Chain A
Amino acid sequence: MASAIEIRDLTKSYGDVRALDGVDLDVPEGSFFGLLGPNGAGKTTFINILVGLVRKTGGEASVFGYDVEDDYREARDRIGLAPQEFNVDRFFPIREVLEHKAGYHGIPHDEARERADEVLKRVGIYDKRDTRFDWLSGGMKRRFMLARALITDPDLLILDEPTAGVDVQLRHELWETIVDLNDSGTTILLTTHYIEEAERLCDEVAILDSGSVIEVASPEELMDRGTDDIVVQLRDSPTAVPDFAADDDRVEAVELDGTRLVVTAQQGGLVAPDVVQALDRQGHELVDLEISRTSLEEVFVEMTRQGEGRATAEVEQ
């Protein structure tokens, strides 16, 4: 599949600080791609290089085959950006702000007005079209950021923390809109602190830490690398349970607390039938069973913590 974003050895330095340190990344066309990382990992710097707000120090970056510096006009014409920080023209009502933005992308005025109305309706703030941005509520501001990114009908939609600070209902509405866009072929690049958001929406995620990509995989693949808890509720408190770890190297820990047995294992869903059979063979009666899957968040925290460890070790050396 062709790449919507192609990055090779991308670096960005601010003095002695390396904000991006040799990033290689491919975002497939039509994908829903997540960019995860702790604060200061370089996510916004990465995005800003694509749209021309930050100049790279080295490496290559292209959007749909267009170099972001040499062919900046072609590259930027294909991108719709909803940044994390509000950067909206406060002099004009929001409909006019959208018309201007569309105009900068070469869309004639009449068509720009039609599109402005269309996207304002799509994000549910059409009745606020004659209001200036500053007078919108926090949720409406977030909706507007998405509307502005959509006004140019981009092939690549970049969303930097699009649901930061919004309530649950609005978050779900925004998710629905974004998923519809992706279904209709728009490539989405999403950065988020809500790992659940990435887990739910993304086909693939890249984990960025200290300016480097430390992993690229689907959320499912990443979650498979974590451990799950198989929680079994027994009828009676057993004096002993089978040595699950000896029989299966996927099992990492077994904990018995009265009638509650917790088996911690990789690929818990596959291990669970063996646990049930072994308990059954020993005559234990099961009352309840639950598999608590590891979350992407736990995997993410673990991976970025390892990154911290690496960084500390490097400093100490």
Chain B
Amino acid sequence: MSLTSLDVTGFYALLRREVLRFVRRPRNTFVPPFITNVLYFSVFGVILGERINEIAGVPYILFILPGLIVLGAVSNAFENASFSIFHGRWNRYIEEALTSPLSYTSMVGAYVLSSATRGVLVGALVALIGAFFTSVGVAQPFYLVAFMLVITLLFAGLGVVGGLWADDFDDLTMMNQFILRPLVFFGGVFYSLNEIPATFQQASLLNPMIYMVNGVRYGFLGVTEVDPNLSLGVLTALTLGVVGLNVVLFRRGYGLTD
């Protein structure tokens, strides 16, 4: 058996294992974002949204929909990778893969791709919930698909770093609550950049989430507050950098070997 064919099969086996892990546990993976987003759309979209003026020519509920999709997608991509790797380290079953002939690139590829898959699936779930509350179309399909792929891959890659770095379950919670959520909430999910003071507008441009939310918003609504091509380019470069870092960390055994 050549190592090339071995790695394709091995990569697929780890990818399959990772996908089955979250697919078979819908109560942990799909039910929470379902409930949360039903609440978001009900409260922010319907109850409060009716009292808020249109933003960039679209109703408020439609304006927040892409942001909620991004929120669900990146949170789940990040959480999946960080949890799966950390839990595997904590219980040491990650050694089943580590002691196998899988290449480090294949291992990273499987963790990142499976986590991005969960992110995309949750994003699609949020879109379906949104479609129940409001009429939604896709103005720029290419950008929608491209942004969804890039941002879920990016956050899956960041989740891998988090999973390798964490020493305790508290570290996972901390990353999610104190880093990811503030970035998302100040990332223009619920408000337009044009509606906040100029200083905060400039500060917001340092938040990568702004570009992701606007990119996906552009895909759905055809409106954006930042250049989608520039955003896509920068995010793609960032994603490649983070996934490259993942491979280096695996190769060096960071968090994995003594």
Which residue numbers of A lie inside 8 Å of B, CB to CB?
14, 48, 51-55, 72-74, 76-77, 79, 81, 83, 85-92, 97, 99-109, 112, 148
Q: Is the CB of B14 within 8 A of A103?
A: yes
Contacting A at CB under 8 A, from B6-22, are 6-7, 9-10, 12-14, 16-17, 20-21
A244–B161 Cα gap in the complex (Å)?
73
Q: Is the CB of B9 within 8 A of A108?
A: yes
A49–B258 Cα gap in the complex (Å)?
9
Q: Is the CB of B93 within 8 A of A76?
A: no
Confirm or deny: B99 has a beta carbon within 8 angstroms of a beta carbon on chain A: yes
CB closest chain-A residue, reference B94: A87
Q: Is the CB of B3 within 8 A of A87?
A: no
Contacts of A103 in B (CB 8 A): 9-10, 12-14, 16-17
| Given A53-B258, A76-B99, A100-B9 contact (CB < 8 Å) | no
A79–B6 Cα gap in the complex (Å)?
15
Of B100-108, B163-171, B232-240, which stretch is located at the interface? B100-108
Q: Is the CB of A92 within 8 A of B5?
A: no
Confirm or deny: B149 has a beta carbon within 8 angstroms of a beta carbon on chain A: no
Contacts of B257 in A (CB 8 A): 52-55
A86–B90 Cα gap in the complex (Å)?
12
Contacts of B100 in A (CB 8 A): 76-77, 101, 104-105
Q: Is the CB of A104 within 8 A of B102?
A: yes
CB closest chain-A residue, reference B92: A87
Contacts of B21 in A (CB 8 A): 91-92
- Size category of the B interface is 20 to 34
A97–B17 Cα gap in the complex (Å)?
9
Q: Is the CB of A105 within 8 A of B253?
A: no
Confirm or deny: B179 has a beta carbon within 8 angstroms of a beta carbon on chain A: no
Contacts of A107 in B (CB 8 A): 9
**A3: shortest Cβ distance to chain B, in Å?**
20
Contacts of A106 in B (CB 8 A): 1, 3, 5-7, 9-10, 101
A104–B96 Cα gap in the complex (Å)?
8
Number of interchain pairs (Cβ within 8 Å): 98
Q: Which of A100, A107, A108 has the most CB of B within 10 A?
A: A100
Give 20 pairs: A residue, B residue, CB < 8 Å, sorted on A: A14-B258, A52-B99, A53-B95, A55-B257, A83-B95, A92-B17, A97-B96, A99-B13, A100-B16, A100-B17, A101-B96, A103-B9, A103-B17, A104-B10, A104-B13, A104-B14, A105-B6, A105-B10, A108-B9, A112-B13
Contacting A at CB under 8 A, from B116-147, are none
Contacts of B93 in A (CB 8 A): 87-90
A112–B6 Cα gap in the complex (Å)?
13
**A72: shortest Cβ distance to chain B, in Å?**
8
Contacts of B199 in A (CB 8 A): none
**A262: shortest Cβ distance to chain B, in Å?**
49
Confirm or deny: B97 has a beta carbon within 8 angstroms of a beta carbon on chain A: yes
Q: Is the CB of A77 within 8 A of B96?
A: no
Contacts of A52 in B (CB 8 A): 98-99, 253, 257
Contacts of A51 in B (CB 8 A): 99
Q: Is the CB of B95 within 8 A of A105?
A: no
Q: Is the CB of A87 within 8 A of B91?
A: yes
CB closest chain-B residue, reference A133: B93
The contact of B20 among A74, A79, A92, by CB within 8 Å, is: A92
The contact of A55 among B6, B20, B253, by CB within 8 Å, is: B253
Q: Is the CB of B258 within 8 A of A74?
A: no
CB closest chain-A residue, reference B20: A92
Q: Which of B10, B92, B99 has the most CB of A within 10 A?
A: B99
A48–B95 Cα gap in the complex (Å)?
10
Contacts of A108 in B (CB 8 A): 9
